[in-house]
Amino acid sequence: MANTAELTVDGKSYSFPTLEGTEHEKAFDISNLRDQTGYVTLDRGYKNTGATKSAITFLDGEEGILQYRGYAIEDLAAKASFLEVAYLLIYGDLPTKDQFTQFETSVRRHTLVNEDMRKIFDGFPVSAHPMGVLSSLVSAMSAFYPDLESGKEDNTDLHIIRLLAKLPTIATWSYKRSLGHPTNYPKNQLDYIPNFLNMMFSLPVEDYKIDPVVVEALNVLLILHADHEQNCSTSTVRLVGSSQANIYSSISAGISALWGPLHGGANQEVIEMLEAIKADGGDVSKYVDMAKNAKTTGFRLFGFGHRVYKNFDPRAKIIKKAADDVLSKLGVNDPVLEIAKGLEEAALNDEYFIQRKLYPNVDFYSGIIYRALGIPTNMFTVMFAIGRLPGWIAQWKEMREQKEPIGRPRQIYTGATLREFTPLESR
């Protein structure tokens, strides 16, 4: 028999069903709490709230486990391609060879972006942050597909392909323009990651040679970022989509959420922090002390801590090793890598960080790899967005297929009680 949870309030007892997921995480089902008791729950930051049932990604923060559709992240990062992982997340199973060929061919064919989108892009100042531009242009994409009437999603698979295909194209525009270089059109004979690299780095005046080391490193990074269950940006995508907003608007909102420095924007902050430590003489202990006094200094160690991981972040483990490999294969000597390692060691041996279970997260070492690949700092979070796109799509699709109700939290009102209105002349 299923367990129930008993709640006694105001001298009355109520019982609520409990439920258990396939990986044994347990929950109280309080869907009828307010109807039965007149109470709501208060859970700032949703630290204890399961907003949905989902079959996409499993993570165990205590054990440092991350799985997409039941496959270990370590296996996928070592053996799969990013587009295979995208298919897995979105459609639930690894593709057969035929399914993959069809999927990959469709993505290849949709990389070109409507020329009128360029006019919108041209209106942004050269100094615009590429995340703001990306979010705006993804939102603008909805204007180019009139079949997207709200609530009518007949062409969902096509929109999914369009998003996967066009996001890298749009992403490269900001970088090219920041250098005063012409933007590149996609070349559809190239695979997904080489095509992106070619748009980023090739110039009309000379050939760009795509380095397989760079392709492999990006493949791993994109896979590691591809989904992370109900994080801030994914919850945003699901919440916006729950009003039946179209997929472009929902994902554009997710990109905005990702931009924040406490979420995906941390990867840019990490490199800026490491650079500042270097410029300040490289004394990591000074910065560990500042972070310990966050309440007075307002300084946090970016790339450290995670809402869910309280042991280690399995993605950070893979990325740390990849950083060493990639830098040595490319012959890059980045002094910031040593500062990062020193900072990690100092923090991991410090009581403040031990007590609070603060470990390096996915963003701590990723920027060092991006930098070694030639990707500029203000594009780091854009790289995260390209990686996270399949996860957002999968979560948006699942939310729609599960016919989830519109997301609408409650509140505990703490404002003024009813007051009498005084006309302006009498105030």
Min separation Cβ 314 and ligand ACO, Å: 13
Kindly tell me which of 178 and 311 has the beta carbon lying closer to ligand ACO. 311
Task: Please tell me whether residue 362 binds ligand ACO under the rule CB under 6 A.
Answer: yes
* 3-state secondary structure string across the chain: CCCEEEEEECCEEEEEEEEECCCCCEEECCCCHHHHHCCCCCCHHHCCCCCCCCCCEEEECCCCEEEECCEEHHHHHHHCCHHHHHHHHHHCCCCCHHHHHHHHHHHHHCCCCCHHHHHHHHCCCCCCCHHHHHHHHHHHHHHHCCCCCCCCCCCHHHHHHHHHHHHHHHHHHHHHHHCCCCCCCCCCCCCHHHHHHHHHHCECCECCCCCHHHHHHHHHHHHHCCCCCCCHHHHHHHHHHCCCCCHHHHHHHHHHHHHCCCCCCHHHHHHHHHHHHHHCCCCHHHHHHHHHCHHHHCCCCCCECCCCCCCCCHHHHHHHHHHHHHHHHHCCCCHHHHHHHHHHHHHHCCHHHHHCCCCECCHHHHHHHHHHCCCCHHHHHHHHHHHHHHHHHHHHHHHHHCCCCCCCCCCCCCCCCCCCCCCHHHC
Q: Which of 173, 302, 380, 392 binds ligand ACO (CB under 6 A)?
A: 302
Q: Which of residues 197-226 bind ligand ACO (CB under 6 A)?
A: none
Is 24 catalytic? The answer is no
Q: Is 291 in the site for ligand ACO (CB under 6 A)?
A: yes
Determine if 264 is a binding residue for ligand ACO (CB under 6 A). Answer: yes
Nearest to ligand ACO of 130, 264 (CB atom): 264
- Which residue's beta carbon is nearest to the bound ligand ACO? 305
Residue 341 sits in the site that holds ligand ACO (CB under 6 A): no
User: Which residue of 361, 366, 381, 395 would you call a contact of ligand ACO, by CB under 6 A?
Assistant: 361
Question: Of the two residues 201 and 287, which places its CB atom closer to ligand ACO in the complex?
Answer: 287
Taking CB under 6 A as the criterion, the residue among 69, 263, 397, 400 binding ligand ACO is: 263
Active site residue 363: yes
- Which of 168, 241, 305, 367 is the binder for ligand ACO (CB under 6 A)? 305
Q: Is 300 in the site for ligand ACO (CB under 6 A)?
A: yes
Least Å distance, CB 305 to ligand ACO, is 2
Candidate residues 301, 346, 386, 394; the one interacting with ligand ACO per rule CB under 6 A: 301
Q: How many residues bind ligand ACO (CB under 6 A)?
A: 20
Residue placing its CB nearer to ligand ACO in the complex, 10 or 351: 351
Nearest distance in Å: CB 257, ligand ACO: 10
Q: Which residues bind ligand ACO (CB under 6 A)?
A: 45, 262-264, 266, 291, 294, 300-307, 356, 358, 361-363
